[in-house]
Structure 1
Amino acid sequence: MIGKNVKLYDMVLQFLRTLFLRTRNVHYCTLRAELLMSLHDLDISEICSVDPCHK
């Protein structure tokens, strides 16, 4: 879906942030974490290395 495209990943995160701020639905936060963990499992270091939540 996102592959190694950091710009696309940032756009998806911005969209999730916007949805969360509008709805206060914590499931958007869970989706963000799941997306990051999926990228980690796929060993996509281009994105994992720049995401501050991946430590």
Structure 2
Amino acid sequence: MGYQADIGDGYWRDDNRDVTLMRIDRHENKQLGRILADKLALSSAPVSILLPTKGLH
């Protein structure tokens, strides 16, 4: 069920049907942030981002 995005060669694992875990390095993390920011900037309506700060349980 997993997929490979256009970010790095990091470690990918399907944890369950709703969550794919991804490990990326500092450079890839920065690149991912830019991709998300670019996509959000295209929105014509207000957006909210929810990020887990204590992991997924």
TM-score range, shorter chain: 0.3 to 0.5
- Asked which structure has the greater CA Rg, the reply is 2
More strand by share: 2
TM-score between the two structures when normalised by the length of structure 2:
0.42
TM-score between the two structures when normalised by the length of structure 1:
0.43
More helix by share: 1
Q: Which has the higher contact order (CA 8 A, sep 6+)?
A: 1
